[in-house]
Amino acid sequence: MTYGRSNLRLKFRRGIAFPEYLDESKHRLLVEAVIGFYEENVGKKFGEIDWDELKLIVGCDKLYKGLRKVMERYYRPEMESLRQTVNPKVLRLRVFKLVNELYGGFVPSGERRKALKYLEELLGVEDLEEVLWQDMEYEKPLKRIFKPSVRDVVEAYNFETVDTICINSSSLKIEVEGQPGILAKIAKVLGRTCKHLGLVYDARAGGNWMKTLVEGPRSLFGKPTRYGLRLTLLLTRMLPILVEAGNWRVTSRTHFTRRTLTIRVLSSRRMPSISPPRKLGVQPAFDSEVEERIYWTLKALGLEAIREPEPIALGDLIYIPDFKIVHRGREFYIEVAGYWRKEYAEKKAYKLSEVAKLGKNIIVLADEKLKPYLRKVKAPIIYYTVRRGRPVLPYKKLLDIVRGRSEDVGIRGKR
């Protein structure tokens, strides 16, 4: 539920844009006036509300439009119940048909009242003119869902600002400084969340710092508004953990009609009150049904398969595999590569190549459609096909690798 990138209020400093958020203390009188305006208009027909008055109260056109969108959480035009047990859409069709049959499609203004009375008797409907249009938004009364507090409105507006930025962004850069323990925690949550949401990430760390570039939907899938919520979900999931770190910041690459801006979305120095909607969305337990089936099959084969293992540091690269298999004291890391679009596949193949060069005991289980992209990955690759939603995988080859019965050579590229 974004309020539109054209309504983002931004300030610029040294080539970086900073969004203007609301503050509960600083903007209390303004928000109270906005809530008061809605309270005064509860019960009034939506089309009769003087919205220009609210625009004067707010004073800024962009903020006015953003707040109107936010206030839809708390006040909406809704009909309590139809005045008469008749569907207005069906009634309109019947009236239009009768007007065509009885009046040739047009009722002269001098005969309008008489015609309405005749149609009311003919259809058995009182107050026909009002009943006809009672389902239209401008005829519905404004209803209070619940009266918000100043904090509710401030936090909701700030979330919509973050969401509007993420929806129109192709990437987020997350930079953190902190103790190794918190960095490891952030790396694990960030990596797993990116996997769940289908986002490509590149995490690097050294000492007390970590930098992660998360590439979003625009560069991978085209239109940002189709998948943009994923970046919002990621950031919402990460915020409680980021605030535990000493110093952090999130920067976006955000696309407008004629330009692309670097926006400092949030940071440890600039962290407004934010509250996401309750129905924002949940992350699945597994990245995909294919991954889930593979996991349970590995367990059924008697392998000790561990989901969401700890991040692996390979030089300055941070890698989080889908599963870890432990067999007789040896650890193997499993990466499940489902079918991706071309650009996503190329980026993922590059990441796997980098991981394979730095790490050992990495096994890739890949959809056979990815063969053209994974040829240069120097790690065992076992390809599978998907039939009726289920992966058909030669598990014996995997067992041979884990149990030391097969060399890496000969596995790559075979099914």
Q: What is the 3-state secondary structure (H, E, C) of 2-27?
A: CCCHHHCCEEEECCEEEECCCCCCCC
CATH number of the domain that residue 352 is part of: 3.40.1350
Q: Is 393 exposed, middle or buried (0-12, 13-18, 19+ CB in 10 A)?
A: buried
Check whether 325 has a pLDDT greater than 60: yes
Residue position matching structure tokens 């800024």? 60
pLDDT at 409: 38
Check whether 102 has a pLDDT greater than 90: no
> HSE-up of 137 (CA within 13 Å, CB side)?
2
Mean pLDDT value across residues 378-396: 86
User: Residue 294: which of 404, 194, 394 has the closest Cα?
Assistant: 394
Phi, psi (rounded to 5 degrees) for 312: -105, 125
What burial letters (b/e) apply to 196-232, b meaning 16+ CB within 10 Å?
bbbbbbbbebeeeebbbbbbbbbbbbeebeebbbbbb
Helix (H, G, I), strand (E, B) or coil at 355: helix
Residue 235, domain member (yes or no): yes
Distance CA 358, CA 314 (A): 6
Helix (H, G, I), strand (E, B) or coil at 364: strand
Residue 284, domain member (yes or no): no
Q: Are residues 168 and 307 in the same domain?
A: no
Q: Are residues 123 and 165 in the same domain?
A: no
Residue 332, domain member (yes or no): yes
pLDDT at 120: 72
pLDDT at 93: 79
User: Residue 413: which of 388, 387, 380 has the closest Cα?
Assistant: 380
Residue 218, domain member (yes or no): yes
Residue 409, domain member (yes or no): no
Query: At which of 211, 233, 267 does a domain end?
Result: 267
Check whether 326 has a pLDDT greater than 90: no
Distance CA 36, CA 74 (A): 12
User: Residue 219: which of 349, 81, 341, 331 has the closest Cα?
Assistant: 341
Check whether 287 has a pLDDT greater than 90: no
Q: Are residues 57 and 192 in the same domain?
A: yes
Query: At which of 237, 267, 297 does a domain end?
Result: 267
Q: Are residues 54 and 164 in the same domain?
A: yes
| pTM of the model as a whole | 0.69
- What whole-number percentage of the chain has pLDDT above 70? 84
Q: Are residues 105 and 59 in the same domain?
A: no
Q: Are residues 124 and 153 in the same domain?
A: no
DSSP code for 337: E
How is residue 270 written in tokens? 């600039």
Q: Are residues 310 and 393 in the same domain?
A: yes
Which one is predicted more confidently, 323 or 149? 149
Helix (H, G, I), strand (E, B) or coil at 390: strand
Give the dihedral sign, CA 345/346/351/357.
Answer: positive
Which one is predicted more confidently, 412 or 64? 64
How is residue 330 written in tokens? 């040896």
> What does each C-alpha distance from 292 to 283, 307, 339 come to in angstroms?
14, 10, 15
Check whether 230 has a pLDDT greater than 50: yes
Residue 410, domain member (yes or no): no
Q: Are residues 165 and 189 in the same domain?
A: yes
- Tens of pLDDT, residue by residue over 342-354, are 767 777 788 788 8
Q: Are residues 108 and 164 in the same domain?
A: no
pLDDT at 129: 66
Residue 100, domain member (yes or no): yes
Distance CA 110, CA 236 (A): 61
How is residue 34 written in tokens? 């906005």
How is residue 155 written in tokens? 């936090």
Strand order in the sheet with 330-337: 304-307, 323-327, 330-337, 362-367, 381-387, 390-392
Give the dihedral sign, CA 290/224/193/66.
Answer: negative
Query: At which of 267, 299, 317 does a domain end?
Result: 267
Residue 21, domain member (yes or no): yes
Mean pLDDT value across residues 389-403: 86
pLDDT at 346: 78
pLDDT at 391: 85
7 contacts 70 by C-beta, under 8 angstroms: no
- Tens of pLDDT, residue by residue over 357-367, are 777 788 889 88
Instruction: Supply the range of the domain harboring residue 103.
Output: 88-134
| DSSP secondary structure string for all residues of 246-262 | SEEEEEEEEE-SS-EEE
Distance between first and last Cα of the chain: 45
Mean pLDDT value across residues 267-279: 82
pLDDT at 411: 43
Crossing angle (nearest 10°) for helices 150-167 and 28-41: 100
Ordered alpha helix ranges (H), 246-322: 289-300
> What does each C-alpha distance from 199 to 77, 185, 188, 250, 343 come to in angstroms?
37, 19, 14, 16, 12
Q: Are residues 170 and 259 in the same domain?
A: yes
Q: Are residues 165 and 252 in the same domain?
A: yes
How is residue 287 written in tokens? 């990245």
Q: Are residues 18 and 107 in the same domain?
A: no
Q: How many domains does the chain have?
A: 3
How is residue 361 written in tokens? 């005991």
